[in-house]
Amino acid sequence: MVRIGKFARLIALSGAAVCATSGHSWSALFVGGATAPSGNTLAATALFQTRQVGSSWFLDVLLANASTDTSGLTHADVLTGLFFSFGSPVSLTPLSASLPSGSVVWDGGSVVSGHTSNVGGEWAYATGLTVGSDSGLHGIGSAGYGLFGPADRFDTGQNLSGPTDPNGLQYGILPAISSWPSGWNPTLDDDPLISNAVLFTFGTGGSELAVMPNAVWAQYGTNLNDPRFRMTSDDIPPEGVVPEPATLSLAAAAVATAFWRKRRR
């Protein structure tokens, strides 16, 4: 098991001047990696956190592609989904899928200038899913995998690319890149893709979410036979302060980069 507790605590401390919350808020970081069919190292982070606004409670999930291997990418190097479960029944209401600070949309090898931060029309959420030998899962996906339909999208009134179904690679997550990856499969150039991360927000009702996820899987590619791996956790203690969602992407990427380097060693 890879321990990254000191990096997770740095994330918690980074939000100290930003957002004071009740003592019941929590953050939990999940990190994992594998090898893609391309030979590249896959790395992903999923940062879960709860927060209270007035009498309402929310769960934010920041999903990031933290790989530093960016040459010769194929569809199986694109992070397109997240599955997770809790130790007891949890009811979540999907509210939004958005681009956090530091994330951009690439299309045809160029950054899309002025792209909307709302990508809810391209990402979906469903629960009670069966994936492999695991059942009763919550799932988030930009590809359908035979699990998500048009009505499952975070924003059913929006369609940024392709059919209304979550489909193909559209708006899947690339690593954080400053230029278009070399050796990228040219047949995939027409798919808009997100570099870095997506932030998902759920409503949890008028009461706090008392349980953290007990199992989390990252999913790549366009079907369930593409790479999928279980992520390991390092909980951030609820010490009265958790970061504001908009500040999390760079911190999560830093944690994942440290994890990736440790795996390489």
- Mean pLDDT across the stretch 36-48? 95
85 or 185, greater pLDDT: 85
Q: Is the pLDDT of residue 21 over 70?
A: no
Least confident of 59-63, 94-98, 162-166: 162-166
- Residue by residue, what is the 3-state secondary structure of the chain? CCCCHHHHHHHHHHCCCCCECCCCCCEEEEEEEEECCCCCEEEEEEEEEEEEECCEEEEEEEEEECCCCCCCCCHHHCEEEEEEEECCCCCCEEEEEECCCCCEEEECCEECCCCCCECCCCCEEEEEEEECCEEEEEEEECCCCCCCCHHHECCCCCCCCCCCCCCCCCCCEECCCCCCCCCCCHHHCCCCEEECEEEEEEEEECCCCCCCEEEEEEEECCCCCCCEEECEEEEECCCCECCCHHHHHHHHHHHHHHHHHHHHC
Least confident of 116-130, 137-151, 236-250: 236-250
145 or 205, greater pLDDT: 145
pLDDT of residue 237: 46
Q: Is the pLDDT of residue 255 over 60?
A: no
